A = this chain, B = another copy of it.
């Protein structure tokens, strides 16, 4: 298969959310134009995004909402469930551990870890914070594919090294640090400072703002 751009995957995720909304509203069929409108893109873009993976529509008619939901879920890899460990049970880690959107979308939080003895044993909804010393053993046992990193910046790289060595194949990094992963591991980073700085840039250069 050809290389797929991240922007395409991001839009597919967006389409999926809209399609689910259309489905709950009982709409059976949808055109690329309608879908484009919800997502702020163009009909050609929607069709091109889908065309990388196959032909899902009927000419003259559009896409079956239910079918397209199934196809996109399949494309994104949501036809199965994924196991997630959250590393760092501070404010953000705890908030994520209790975030219902995770489970709702098939991402099961199988463990939350912290180094701080005062956090270990704390219960977050139905999950108990464990000692970070247990990480390797638990990863070998529970085989989570994804680690979500919510620790201070200076602890981030060492923990990523540990979890990837133990077999984690994808990392979502909320720590304010640039981290590196071995080849074969997928990495994404959400950096609050960068998001705010992009906003500040937009505020400072109103003549050429993106939105």
Contact = CB atoms under 8 A, between A and B. Distances in A.
Interface residues of A, number: 70
Contacts of A12: 197, 201
Interface stretch (A42-50, A76-84, A114-122, A129-137): A76-84
A208 B105 contact: no
A117 B12 CA distance: 38
Kindly report how many copies of this chain are found in the complex they form together: 2
A91 B101 contact: no
A52 to B, nearest CB: 11
A78 B77 CA distance: 40
A211 interface: yes
A81 B16 CA distance: 38
A139 to B, nearest CB: 15
A196 B3 contact: no
Interface string A171-211: 01000101011011111101111111111111111111111
B201 A76 contact: yes
A41 to B, nearest CB: 11
A89 to B, nearest CB: 12
29 contacts: A2-B208, A6-B198, A13-B194, A13-B198, A17-B193, A18-B178, A39-B178, A40-B180, A75-B201, A76-B197, A77-B203, A77-B205, A82-B196, A91-B95, A92-B95, A94-B95, A95-B95, A99-B192, A105-B196, A107-B196, A146-B196, A169-B203, A170-B202, A184-B209, A185-B211, A186-B203, A186-B209, A186-B210, A188-B198
